[in-house]
Amino acid sequence: NAGVTQTPKFQVLKTGQSMTLQCAQDMNHEYMSWYRQDPGMGLRLIHYSVGAGITDQGEVPNGYNVSRSTTEDFPLRLLSAAPSQTSVYFCASSRSGPGNTIYFGEGSWLTVV
């Protein structure tokens, strides 16, 4: 199994540009989420989804959009990139229910100049 796959791994954007970080999982997980991690910090939840067609905001949603049209995919869109969005982004998935393991992607390193 591929697990959780994120693309691209590295990206440099100019301020004001838009882009989409892709996340796909092949484990038929209901729950998917996006986190950002700034240097020396823990992970902060951006958006999450509990199933196709259902999304909700996390701790730091401003400047980001998500959609969940299929179980497998959960793209994160940056509408107008800002230097403050320079960060490492992690996608995660799991089955619903608190006793289930959370699987993370390898991360996407984004620099906004």
Partner 1 sequence: DAKTTQPNSMESNEEEPVHLPCNHSTISGTDYIHWYRQLPSQGPEYVIHGLTSNVNNRMASLAIAEDRKSSTLILHRATLRDAAVYYCILRLWSGGSNYKLTFGKGTLLTVNP
Q: Which residues bind partner 1 (CB under 8 A)?
A: 4, 31, 33, 35, 40-45, 48, 50, 56, 58-59, 90, 92, 96-99, 101-107
Burial pattern 64-80, b for ≥16 Cβ within 10 A else e, equals bebebeebbebbbebee
| Residue the block writes with tokens 């969005």 | 85
To partner 1, the closest distance from the beta carbon of 1 in angstroms equals: 14
**Least separation, in Å, of the C-beta of 97 and partner 1?**
7
Q: Which is nearer to partner 1, 15 or 56 (CB)?
A: 56
d(CA 103, CA 94): 6
Token pair belonging to 76: 């994160």
Q: Please, which residue, 50 or 82, has the CB nearer to partner 1? A: 50
**Cβ proximity to partner 1, 6 vs 85, nearer residue:** 6
CB of 38 to partner 1, least distance (A): 11
- The three-state secondary structure class of 59 is coil
Residues 53 and 75: their CA atoms lie apart, in Å, by 13
